[in-house]
Amino acid sequence: MEMTTNKQVLDFVNGRAKLGKAKEVVWITGDKAQYDALTAEAISTGEMIELNQELLPGCLLHRTKENDVARVEGRTFICAREEKNAGPTNNWWNPTEAYAKLESILDGAYEGRTMYVIPFSMGPVGGPISKIGIEVTDSIYVVLNMRIMTRVGKDVLDVLGDSNDFVRGTHAKCDVNPEERYICQFPEDNAIISVNSAYGGNVLLGKKCFALRIASYQGKNEMWMAEHMLILGIERPGKETVYMAAAFPSACGKTNLAMLIPPVEFQNKGYKVYTVGDDIAWIKKGPDGRLYAINPENGFFGVAPGTNKKSNPNALISTMKNTIFTNVALNLENNTVWWEGLDKNPPVNAIDWKGNPWNGQTSTEKGAHPNSRFTAPAINCPCISKEFENPAGVPISAFIFGGRRPNTVPLVYQARSWEHGVFVGSIMGSETTAAATGAVGVVRRDPMAMRPFCGYHMGDYFQHWLDMGNSVDKDKQPKFFNVNWFRTDAEGHFVWPGFGDNMRVLDWMLKRIDGEVEAQETAIGYVPFVDDINLEGADVSKETVADILTIDNAAWKKEAEGIKEFYKDFGDRLPAELAKQADELVSRLDK
């Protein structure tokens, strides 16, 4: 049954059903009974495995194909009309050719299958920063995940009314053929087409495809920002809660920082961290002239491995009910799940992520894929912010950038200004992770953690950051910081304890925001005096921290060369301001 009279929606849906030759079209209403029936159907076909309903009520396990376990950057395209508008960091595909190829793949792709129509809202339904999408898909896995990750149902269509302002998302599993896998964004058409995958980031089209690739382009045109950022709030006695947004590349610690539990010394003083979002922020200037951020998502699509009672109890608790696990191990002893780093007691009698019998005590293979994930409702999170549903968002006091850098980049430093902050974000580098297919552990430039997600020319994106700064009065501009939790010693061990101890670094930022402490001015920016980092109760010495706060001039000179090399890719679309910032860095290093 159709749920709208919106002609544009109906044309899109009917067109897709016809092209795909769908056996049946089912509109997702948002009603629990419909989800329950779909869940039961997916369990009966084996697409989903029902887990122990006493220990993990409402939880399911899904395994994808071995060739379909992460985002595929090489097969992700920005189909802008002109190649030069996709820029040097994106794969470009001529939209005419892309549509022709994709339509040939979609032709009959739903034959004998049901096409589900998912109306969804990114952000609270009807909110001033929120946006609407319609995803059609032949996958129940997608429907069930979208229900957790976004706001789904008829009320979304009611808010849309007759408007054409919605993103058209088309997904078809086809035969999950990696050679014919395409994840295509058409920013000028508000359209996404994803074929031959059935994995998270490739198919939950509200997430990276819409909320970052399409939305970054919309934001550029409409003067707002879509960023790969967590949002957290820090509560302290006698002061207003301070909100910060942090961009780290995939699998570099956003979920963990967003759900941080402060060390007991801080807890005793009344510090508490609240999660607004763990992956994506939409940011717009508010009525008071400050920048406000919402989390457009409704759940967490988090990395499972490494999540445990100590590292991230809030994430672990979030996964204890109504959660979908993807590509983790199945513990046959009690029909629950297991992944590397959950505990030191892997199950003997288990099934690994590939679906093979697995003995965690003796096997040399991993039980869970390194990019295995949980899809958990945000409301499950014990530290979810009371502002999570606030459609107007939270005021941002600081932007934090960071990545995995075994050397060179200090534990933390502060940028001198908005312009310098944009420079600091633009030169971000990080070791690649299992979140995308390809080599792991190679340092690459990943500006603002947006390299795989910027829907247009990255030079223009830098300019947009500069423009956003100019649109805000100086005294209302957030401060910029850069962090690196991942410095290693000669044996390759992390030297900074990380996780909850990252509070110590956030605390320094609070003191800087409040103007309570001075800092050392260095060639790269302001670095803390080690005594201003509260190390009370920390399992790391002051000498070690002083060491990872030291700027290695020679290493930074090499870094500066790399930056200039990287900047060459942008040609005349590199903002002059950033070229100037790079020159100034070099001259400060030479002094």
Among 305, 469, 525, 528, binds ligand GTP (CB under 6 A): 305
Residue 498 found at the interface with ligand GTP (CB under 6 A) = yes
Residue 279 found at the interface with Mn ion (CB under 5 A) = yes
Radius of gyration of the chain (CA): 23
CA 179, 180, 181 angle in degrees (round to 5)?
95
Among 77, 93, 274, 301, binds ligand SPV (CB under 6 A): 301
Among 262, 233, 259, 258, residue whose Cα is nearest residue 248: 258
Helix axes 418-426, 458-470, angle to 10 degrees: 160
Query: By 3-state DSSP, what share of the chain in percent is helix, strand and coil, each rounded to 5?
Result: 35, 25, 45
Residue 200 found at the interface with ligand SPV (CB under 6 A) = yes
Residue 339 binding result from ligand GTP, Mn ion, ligand SPV, none, given CB thresholds of 5 to 8 Å by partner type: none
Give the Cα separation of 98 and 571 in Å (integer): 26
Residues 84 and 457 sit within 8 Å (Cβ to Cβ) = yes
Residue 201 found at the interface with ligand SPV (CB under 6 A) = yes
Residues 137 and 194 sit within 8 Å (Cβ to Cβ) = no
Among 254, 405, 457, 512, binds ligand GTP (CB under 6 A): 254
Give the Cα separation of 67 and 113 in Å (integer): 23
Among 116, 485, 508, 526, binds ligand GTP (CB under 6 A): 485
* Catalytic-role residue among 79, 252, 381, 383: 252
Give the Cα separation of 283 and 279 in Å (integer): 13
Comparing CB distances to ligand SPV, the nearer of 301 and 570 is 301
For 211, 286, 375, the CA distances from 70, given in Å and listed in that order, are 18, 36, 14
Comparing CB distances to ligand SPV, the nearer of 64 and 482 is 64
**252 part of the active site:** yes
Give the Cα separation of 577 and 122 in Å (integer): 33
Q: Which stretch binds ligand SPV (CB under 6 A): 6-14, 26-34, 199-207, 236-244?
A: 199-207
Q: How far is the CB of 301 from Mn ion (least distance, A)?
A: 8
Q: How far is the CB of 323 from ligand GTP (least distance, A)?
A: 15
Among 127, 133, 200, 253, binds ligand GTP (CB under 6 A): 253
Q: Which stretch binds ligand GTP (CB under 6 A): 19-27, 131-139, 459-467, 493-501?
A: 493-501
- Residues 6 or more apart in contact with residue 261 via CB below 8 angstroms: 267, 273, 313, 314, 383, 500
Among 39, 145, 185, 255, binds ligand GTP (CB under 6 A): 255
Give the Cα separation of 562 and 553 in Å (integer): 14
For 61, 329, 387, 583, 588, the CA distances from 51, given in Å and listed in that order, are 7, 12, 32, 57, 58
Relative to beta strand 412-414, strand 479-483 is antiparallel
Question: 151: exposed, middle or buried (C-beta count within 10 Å: 0-12, 13-18, 19+)?
Answer: buried
Comparing CB distances to ligand GTP, the nearer of 106 and 209 is 209
Among 291, 435, 509, 510, binds ligand GTP (CB under 6 A): 435
Give the Cα separation of 136 and 272 in Å (integer): 41
Residues 235 and 474 sit within 8 Å (Cβ to Cβ) = no
Comparing CB distances to ligand GTP, the nearer of 201 and 455 is 201
Residue 88 found at the interface with ligand GTP (CB under 6 A) = no
How many residues in total does the chain contain? 591
Residue 297 found at the interface with Mn ion (CB under 5 A) = no
Tokens for 251, please give them: 């699998």
Give the Cα separation of 482 and 252 in Å (integer): 13
Residue 279 found at the interface with ligand SPV (CB under 6 A) = yes
Among 16, 151, 168, 207, binds ligand SPV (CB under 6 A): 207
Give the Cα separation of 580 and 530 in Å (integer): 30
Q: How far is the CB of 249 from ligand SPV (least distance, A)?
A: 7
Residue 502 binding result from ligand SPV, ligand GTP, Mn ion, none, given CB thresholds of 5 to 8 Å by partner type: ligand GTP
Give the Cα separation of 422 and 468 in Å (integer): 10
Residue 210 found at the interface with ligand GTP (CB under 6 A) = no
Q: Which stretch binds ligand SPV (CB under 6 A): 1-9, 200-208, 417-425, 548-556?
A: 200-208
Q: How far is the CB of 55 from ligand SPV (least distance, A)?
A: 26
Q: Which stretch binds ligand SPV (CB under 6 A): 173-181, 201-209, 267-275, 504-512?
A: 201-209
Residue 485 binding result from Mn ion, ligand GTP, ligand SPV, none, given CB thresholds of 5 to 8 Å by partner type: ligand GTP
Residues 258 and 436 sit within 8 Å (Cβ to Cβ) = no
Residue 279 found at the interface with ligand GTP (CB under 6 A) = yes
Residue 562 binding result from ligand SPV, Mn ion, ligand GTP, none, given CB thresholds of 5 to 8 Å by partner type: none
Residue 126 binding result from Mn ion, ligand GTP, ligand SPV, none, given CB thresholds of 5 to 8 Å by partner type: none
Among 302, 377, 425, 525, binds ligand GTP (CB under 6 A): 302
Q: Which stretch binds ligand GTP (CB under 6 A): 43-51, 80-88, 303-311, 543-551?
A: 303-311
Comparing CB distances to ligand SPV, the nearer of 282 and 556 is 282
Among 106, 144, 232, 252, binds ligand GTP (CB under 6 A): 252
Distance from the first to the final alpha carbon of the chain: 71
* Cβ atoms within 10 Å, residue 221: 10
- Of residues 62 through 121, those in contact with ligand SPV by CB under 6 A are 71
- Residues 6 or more apart in contact with residue 448 via CB below 8 angstroms: 227, 228, 247, 401, 425, 426, 428, 461, 465
Residue 299 found at the interface with ligand SPV (CB under 6 A) = no
Q: Which stretch binds Mn ion (CB under 5 A): 101-109, 275-283, 361-369, 372-380?
A: 275-283
Residues 456 and 212 sit within 8 Å (Cβ to Cβ) = no
Residue 252 binding result from ligand GTP, ligand SPV, Mn ion, none, given CB thresholds of 5 to 8 Å by partner type: ligand GTP
Active site residues: 252
For ligand GTP, the binding residues (CB under 6 A) are 248, 250-256, 278-279, 302-303, 305-306, 311, 435, 485-486, 494, 498-499, 502
For ligand SPV, the binding residues (CB under 6 A) are 71, 200-201, 207-208, 250, 279, 301, 435
